[in-house]
Structure 1
C-alpha cells in the first residue's frame, strides 16, 4: 500500500479515537488545516490542537475513508470519506455524507489539507 494512503488510514483511525497528539505528529510544523465552520485556515499545530479540542468538547465526528484518488499534483492524494457528526448525547447533527479531503505531503508528513465538498 502506498505510504501516503497508509498514513491517512492511520490518521483517520487516530481522529476517530481522539488521539490528537498522534495526529499532530503526522503533520509538518507549518501545516495548513481548514477550519470549515469559520472559513479559515489554521496554520500550525497549536491552532489545530485547540480547534479539535473545541470540536470534540461539543460533538462526536466520525470520518471513515472509503477510497483514495490521485490529486492535482504528484504530492497530493485525495481521500474520499464518509463523515457523520453526532452530539455528545448521540443525536445526529450532520447526516452521513461523502466528502473529499485533498492532502499535500512533504517529507512523508501531511503539509496541507483542503475540504472539497
Structure 2
C-alpha cells in the first residue's frame, strides 16, 4: 500500500484488517509505525514494534484462527480512530471458539498506525 498523508483512515485500517485476515504480516506492517505499541489480547499488556507484532501474531496463529471484520469506523473527540469489529475465533480444526464484537482504538501519525488498543464491548 502506498502511504500518503491524504489517505482515508478507513482505507488504511481496512487494509490492516484485510492483511491480518490473509495472514500477510509484511503487508500489514507496511502501514504500522516501526515502533508502534500494539495491544496483546492474549497475554495482556502491549507488544512493541514490528518484531513484537510479528512475534505476537505468529504465536497467535499457531494455535487459533482469528478473523476480524470491521463493521463501523469513527473518529473520536481525541482524534483517535475507533473501529467496531466482529471477531470470530476458531480453533485450528475450524471449530468456533468465540464470536464477539470488540472495539479497536488506533492512533495514526503521519499515515502510519502508531498504536492500537482493545476495548471489549458489553
Identify the TM-score tier after normalising by the shorter chain. Answer: over 0.9
Q: Which has the higher strand share?
A: 1
Quote how far apart the aligned CAs of 1:72 are: 3.8
Which residue does 1:17 correspond to in 2? 22
Which residue does 2:59 correspond to in 1? 54
Partner of 2:62: helix, strand, or coil?
helix
**92, 98, 103: which one pairs with 2:96?**
92
Count the aligned residue pairs: 114
- Aligned pairs (5 A) from 1:1-117: 3-74=8-79, 76-94=80-98, 96-117=99-120
- The runs of at least 4 aligned residues of structure 1 exceeding 3 Å deviation read none
Q: What are the Cα deviations for residues 53-92 of structure 1, in whole angstroms up to 9, with x where unaligned?
A: 1111111100000011222412x11011000100110111
5+ unaligned residues in a row in structure 2: which ranges? 1-6
RMSD, aligned CA = 1.1
TM-score, structure 2 length as denominator?
0.89
